[in-house]
């Protein structure tokens, strides 16, 4: 199936150089003549002024050069108003992995589409030759700033086959994509907050034609209390998991409790669907779904579960860009490793997530 990204992250970075006047930034200076550790100041010079992750194709980005040489640098990102910090590794020439940088920004501030200013601090351990021999000294450079903006919105790893619109979506502006079940073009699902009194319906494309609502078989397992003659009218506000079968002559819309399960090596019961792996469900529209604490350092996996469908056909993760990334009709996703004791926080109102 065609791979489609509905919303990708956009990061605009402004890097401010250090105040000292350093020369010879072209390459690190490693052969100093009898330097003393105290006399040598450590500073970094930013090498880029902006980066846009929507168009960036390079796997590595050079953030800075340095006046001192080491095998690698530690790069810490922090920001005003956030207690979270993130540390990534830079190579000897100041390069970082593109995915690591995006993950660090999301770790500090989450995936909201708000421009933030981060402090970037580079440190390293340096070897100095003195008259009495060699010494290794840790040093930290003055921080520079990074302006970052992450776009909201989820990623679906295949072309959707069903869309939703209604009174809360301008009746066609926009059309909200549902997530296809892997290997089943007739079945889709979505976790969504519904408001009492709102009306909606479905269509097999992002436009009018062959649309349907109450004409389908309606099954309510979550107390939503749908009504209406054509459009589906919401009886009770709240978060719902909606499963839709779009099979001509046998359409079905099922409202379910929005249960999300942590799966795999990070889950309390491993690869089984059990209540111990359930996320906490928020009450408010802007609230976050919160996973149990991860039981070990491992690749994270999560899903919704339908009785007649294998769990991996409805799995998703939070990717390195802070997006909820649905496998849908696509193949295996690029895996993300998390730490024991962390939790996953999902915001379905803007399609973002974070591990912390």
**pLDDT tens-digit profile of 169-217?**
999 989 999 999 999 999 999 999 999 999 999 999 999 999 999 999 9
Q: In the structure, what pLDDT confidence band is assigned to residue 147 with cuts at 50, 70 and 90?
A: confident
Where is the domain boundary, 119, 148, 177? Answer: 148
Q: The tokens of 245 are what? A: 């079968």
Q: How many CA atoms lie within 13 A of 131 on its CB side?
A: 0
Task: Give yes or no for a contact between 191 and 348, defined as CB atoms under 8 angstroms apart.
Answer: yes
Residue 215 located in a structural domain = yes
User: Before 174, cis peptide (omega within 30)?
Assistant: yes
Residues 184, 128 share a domain:
no
Residues 340, 195 share a domain:
yes
Residue 1 located in a structural domain = no
Residues 296, 197 share a domain:
yes
In the predicted model, what is the mean pLDDT of residues 145-160?
80
Residue 131 phi, psi dihedral angles, 5° rounding? -65, -25
What is the domain count for the chain? 2
Residue 32 located in a structural domain = no
Which secondary structure element, helix H or strand E, spans residue 107, and what is its range?
Answer: helix 98-109
Lowest mean pLDDT among 11-20, 26-35, 219-228: 11-20
Segments forming the whole domain that contains residue 128 = 44-148
Give exposure, 130-164, as e/b (b: 16+ Cβ within 10 Å): eeeeeeeeebebebbebebbbbbbbbbbbebbbbb
Query: Cα–Cα distance between 181 and 314 in angstroms, integer?
Result: 6
Which of the pair, 149 or 205, is modelled with greater confidence? 205
3-state SS assignment for residue 87? strand
Residues 237, 308 share a domain:
yes
Give exposure, 231-246, as e/b (b: 16+ Cβ within 10 Å): bbbbbeebbbbbbbbb
The answer on pLDDT for 296 being more than 50 is yes
Q: In the structure, what pLDDT confidence band is assigned to residue 352 with cuts at 50, 70 and 90?
A: confident
Residue 326 located in a structural domain = yes
Mean pLDDT in the chain? 85
Residue 256 located in a structural domain = yes
pLDDT score at 111: 61
pLDDT score at 98: 73
**How big is the chain, counted in residues?**
356
Task: Give yes or no for a contact between 176 and 163, defined as CB atoms under 8 angstroms apart.
Answer: yes
Residues 294, 166 share a domain:
yes
CATH number at residue 163: 2.60.40.3610
Where is the domain boundary, 148, 172, 200? Answer: 148
Residues 311, 165 share a domain:
yes
Which of the pair, 340 or 154, is modelled with greater confidence? 340
Query: Considering only CA atoms, which of 168, 176, 220 is closest in space to residue 195?
Result: 168
pLDDT digits (tens, 9 = 90+) for 82-137: 888 989 999 999 998 877 777 787 788 766 666 778 899 999 988 887 778 888 88
Residue 346 located in a structural domain = yes
In the predicted model, what is the mean pLDDT of residues 213-234?
98
Residues 221, 88 share a domain:
no
Query: Cα–Cα distance between 266 and 292 in angstroms, integer?
Result: 9
Q: In the structure, what pLDDT confidence band is assigned to residue 27 with cuts at 50, 70 and 90?
A: very low
Give percent above pLDDT 70 in the chain: 84
Residue 210 located in a structural domain = yes
pLDDT score at 129: 79
Residue 25 located in a structural domain = no
pLDDT score at 112: 62
Residues 184, 82 share a domain:
no
pLDDT score at 152: 57
Where is the domain boundary, 116, 148, 180? Answer: 148
Residues 226, 126 share a domain:
no
Q: CA-based angle 79:82:88, to the nearest 5? A: 55
Q: The tokens of 302 are what? A: 């999560």
Residues 235, 199 share a domain:
yes
Residues 209, 114 share a domain:
no
Q: What is the maximum span of the chain, computed from C-alpha positions, in angstroms? A: 90
Residues 166, 91 share a domain:
no
pLDDT score at 91: 95
The answer on pLDDT for 160 being more than 80 is yes
């Amino acid at each position: 199936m065609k791979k489609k990204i509905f919303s990708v992250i956009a990061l605009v970075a402004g890097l401010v150089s250090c105040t000292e006047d350093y020369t010879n930034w072209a390459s690190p200076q490693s052969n100093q003549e009898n330097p003393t550790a105290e006399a040598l100041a450590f500073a970094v010079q930013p090498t880029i002024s902006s980066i846009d992750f929507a168009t960036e194709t390079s796997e590595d980005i050079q953030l800075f050069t340095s006046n001192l040489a080491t095998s690698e640098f530690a790069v810490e990102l922090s920001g005003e108003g956030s207690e979270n910090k993130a540390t990534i590794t830079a190579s000897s020439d100041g390069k970082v992995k593109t995915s690591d940088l995006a993950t660090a920004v999301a770790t500090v501030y989450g995936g909201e589409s708000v421009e933030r200013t981060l402090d970037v601090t580079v440190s390293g351990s340096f070897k100095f030759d003195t008259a009495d021999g060699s010494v290794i000294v840790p040093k930290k450079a003055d921080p520079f700033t990074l302006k970052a903006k992450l776009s909201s919105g989820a990623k679906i790893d295949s072309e959707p086959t069903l869309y939703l619109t209604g009174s809360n979506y301008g009746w066609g502006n926009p059309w909200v994509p549902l997530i296809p079940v892997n290997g089943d073009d007739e079945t889709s699902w979505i976790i969504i907050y519904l408001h009492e009194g709102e009306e909606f319906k479905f269509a097999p494309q992002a436009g009018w034609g062959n649309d349907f609502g109450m004409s389908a078989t309606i099954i309510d397992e979550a107390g939503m209390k749908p009504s209406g003659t054509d459009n589906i009218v919401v009886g009770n506000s709240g978060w719902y998991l909606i499963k839709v079968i779009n099979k001509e002559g046998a359409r079905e819309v099922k409202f379910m409790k929005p249960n999300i399960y942590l799966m795999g090596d990070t889950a309390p019961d491993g690869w089984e669907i059990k209540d111990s792996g359930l996320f906490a469900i928020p009450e408010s529209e802007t609230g976050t779904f919160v996973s149990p604490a991860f039981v070990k350092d491992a690749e994270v996996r999560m899903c919704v579960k339908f009785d007649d469908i294998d769990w991996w056909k409805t799995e998703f993760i939070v990717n390195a860009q802070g997006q909820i990334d649905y496998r849908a009709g696509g193949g295996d996703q690029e895996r993300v490793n998390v730490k024991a004791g962390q939790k996953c926080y999902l915001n379905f109102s803007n399609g973002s997530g974070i591990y912390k």
